[in-house]
DNA sequence: ATTGTTATGATAATCATTATCATTTGACAG
DNA sequence: CTGTCAAATGATAATGATTATCATAACAAT
């Protein structure tokens, strides 16, 4: 935990940003909820427990900054809000998601399943892939009877 | 074109919806811009040329209805708006997208590239796949020098 | 200490989407 | 036909997420 924060701190400094107390509190919330997919509002509520004076705008700005630094990914599952998802450290690809139509759960797939598909796309469509988003919609193992 | 409208009409009737002039005008716009990924506002502007009295709310309602009937898919590329994409007739899967980070173009991949991947996901994660969304972000063939 | 840049918090503004509601349309029964 | 009723529409208000503004605070560098 502390090491990860330290690395994020260095990453910020390398672009001459500071790790202010507000930003650190926000990062901590994200690390503590690594498996969730929190909205900005949800992050705000949780950060307030650590740092009650923080404003919503600061949370939005911090999340935007972290997105820019590729510490988090901003994703959208079709409900009206953006959600923020911590990247795996050192992962060269963005993980995939399983969204359950029954219970709404969002599970993650860390494995890279798209290696072969990406080769095909790069070659056949002459497209230089930088990133991808893959989401499956269906029924999760919990809801299958 | 006329046949496709006719089939959509039947699909509407089968759920006891009507193909009103407003709805027909909207469907025509979508068919005429099959390769684009129009936002609700853009659809509205284009429909107005055919049917100037139409209201924005009706366009939203029609797009919602068509989404429900799976005539179109509602997608989100991360700019603030939802976009509507006509399904290929008879396609059992949703096509994929290539979003160019350079010029913003959105190209489509009609081929189903995920067959094998889906088998793995169904088995290994015990997840019953109903639908998927796959988008690649990168540099399109036009922007590669 | 002084200056200047960056970050913050409160709040107003924006913008897409949804809800409301009075009116219109069109199918159907008598 | 004519009246009835549910569905659809259009204008507009309301909502809700996100962004912009701006005065103030923090803080590094001279």
Residues above pLDDT 70, as percent of chain B: 100
The count of domains in chain A is 2
CATH number of the structural domain spanning residue A63? 1.10.10.10
Chain-wide mean pLDDT for chain A? 94
Give B-chain residues touching A131 at CB under 8 angstroms: 136-138
Residues above pLDDT 70, as percent of chain A: 100
Same-domain check for residues B11 and B68 = yes
Same-domain check for residues A9 and A39 = yes
Taking residues A24-40, report their average pLDDT.
96
Is a pLDDT exceeding 80 seen at residue B90? no
Is a pLDDT exceeding 80 seen at residue A70? yes
Same-domain check for residues B11 and B79 = yes
The DSSP-derived string for A49-115 is HH-TT--HHHHHHHHHHHHHTTSEEEEE-SSSSEEEEEPPTT-SSPPEEEEETTT--EEEE-S---H
Predicted pLDDT at B88: 85
Chain A touched by B105 (CB under 8 Å): no
- Among candidates A80, A36, A40, which has minimal Cα distance to A60? A40
Query: Given strand A106-109, what is the order of strands in its sheet?
Result: A106-109, A96-100, A128-139, B128-139, B96-100, B106-109
List pLDDT tens digits, range A74-125. 999 988 999 999 998 877 778 999 999 988 899 999 999 999 999 999 999 9
Strands A128-139 and A96-100: parallel
Taking residues A47-76, report their average pLDDT.
95
Predicted pLDDT at B64: 96
Same-domain check for residues A141 and A73 = no
User: What is the nearest nucleotide to B40, using C1' and CA?
Assistant: C16
Q: How far apart are CA A37 and CA A52, in angstroms?
A: 22
Choose the final residue of a domain: A74, A90, A106.
A90
Same-domain check for residues A75 and A140 = no
Chain A touched by B106 (CB under 8 Å): no
User: What is the nearest nucleotide to A63, using C1' and CA?
Assistant: D18
Same-domain check for residues B32 and B60 = yes
CATH number of the structural domain spanning residue B130? 3.30.1490.190
The residue range of the domain holding A5 is 1-90
Predicted pLDDT at B89: 80
Residues 6 or more apart whose Cβ sits within 8 Å of residue B48? B54
Choose the final residue of a domain: B51, B70, B90.
B90
Predicted pLDDT at A78: 87
Q: How confident is the model at residue B143 (pLDDT cuts 50, 70, 90)?
A: very high
Predicted pLDDT at A40: 97
Residues, chain A:
145
The distance (Å) linking the CA of A17 with the C1' of C6 is 9
Q: What does pTM read for this prediction? A: 0.88
Is a pLDDT exceeding 90 seen at residue B91? no
Choose the final residue of a domain: A47, A62, A90.
A90
Which helix (H) or strand (E) segment holds residue A28: the answer is: helix A21-32
Distances, alpha carbon B10 to alpha carbons A116, B5, B13, B75, in Å: 40, 9, 5, 25
Same-domain check for residues A125 and A75 = no
Distances, alpha carbon A29 to alpha carbons A1, A13, A53, A59, A62, in Å: 11, 20, 15, 11, 12
| Separation of CA A78 from chain center | 16
Q: Which residue is nearest to nucleotide C19 (CA to C1')?
A: B57
List pLDDT tens digits, range B20-67. 999 999 999 999 999 999 999 999 999 999 999 999 999 999 999 999
Predicted pLDDT at B92: 72
- Among candidates B114, B112, B113, which has minimal Cα distance to B122? B114
Predicted pLDDT at B45: 97
């Amino acid at each position: 935990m502390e090491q990860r924060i330290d690395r994020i701190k260095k990453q910020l400094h390398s672009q001459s940003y500071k790790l202010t107390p507000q930003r650190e509190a926000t990062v901590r919330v994200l690390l503590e909820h690594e498996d969730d997919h929190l909205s900005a509002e949800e992050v705000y509520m949780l950060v307030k427990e650590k740092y009650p004076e923080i404003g919503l705008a600061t949370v939005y700005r911090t999340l935007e900054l972290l997105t820019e630094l590729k510490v988090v990914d901003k994703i959208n599952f079709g409900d009206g809000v953006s959600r923020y998802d911590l990247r795996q450290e050192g992962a060269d690809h963005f993980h995939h998601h399983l969204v359950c139509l029954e219970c709404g759960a969002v599970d993650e797939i860390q494995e890279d399943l798209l290696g072969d598909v990406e080769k095909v796309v790069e070659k056949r469509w002459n497209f230089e892939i930088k990133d991808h988003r893959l989401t499956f919609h269906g029924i999760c193992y919990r809801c299958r009877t």
